[in-house]
Amino acid sequence: MRVIGYVRVSTDEQAHSGLGLDAQRTAIETEVERRGWELLAVVSDAAVSAKRSPADRPGFSDVLEALRSGSADAVVVSKLDRLTRSLSDFAGLLDRSVSEGWGVVALDVDVDTTTATGRLVAHVMASVSEWERGVISERTKAALGELKAKGRRLGRPVTLPGSVRDRIASERAAGATLRQIADGLNRDGVHTSQGGAQWWPATVRAVLRSVELDSAA
């Protein structure tokens, strides 16, 4: 199997010392040789944070292009966090690898999507990520529902007279733009919720959002 190694360090200091990159490279070369694969190249991203999406990194972009074109069969990393620390990013990478027909090998977590066992491990990890997102969403909705049931206001505190809020909502419903509404309020000397004398389209938009939240509560 033809593979490309990928190594990454986050800081300039690590990049300049070369120690982190060398250790990753050695681990990849050793394991590739043990498995009898052909190592085409080892591509690096130096001083690139894991927070940056894999597809947005210069080095890994080259790796993806080689994989997509069929020049290589898989990408190998010594540790999964060299690829990404985000399970959602990892899940997206897995989906891409399946659709384009290449593999992902992470030596530290026994992920090798070119094998049945490795694919199982990878999909379990991706499923856990999806489950976590679902749980967070459910908890958020439940908390908001409880606040509504208790009569708690979910929008920003209302400090505008009801007549001003009604005016803004009515003019917007009649087709006025945010700029037109703001200009009219300024012309009439109406103060904002913070006591200011200047209305802006963004200020009007904030009031409209507050009105919408009140209506939904």
Alpha carbons 122 and 177: distance in angstroms, whole number? 50
CA nearest 199: which of 190, 211, 210? 190
Per the CB < 8 A criterion, the answer to whether 172 and 181 are in contact is: yes
Residue 25 contacts by C-beta under 8 Å, 6 or more apart in sequence?
A: 5, 7, 42
State yes or no: is 10 an active-site residue: yes
Burial class (CB in 10 A: 0-12, 13-18, 19+), 83: buried
Per the CB < 8 A criterion, the answer to whether 34 and 61 are in contact is: no
What does DSSP assign to residue 157? Answer: P
Burial class (CB in 10 A: 0-12, 13-18, 19+), 12: exposed
Tell me how far CA of residue 176 lies from CA of 84, 172, 180, 182, in angstroms: 47, 5, 6, 10
Please pick, among 10, 44, 78, 97, the residue that the annotation labels catalytic.
10
Alpha carbons 32 and 75: distance in angstroms, whole number? 11
Catalytic positions: 10
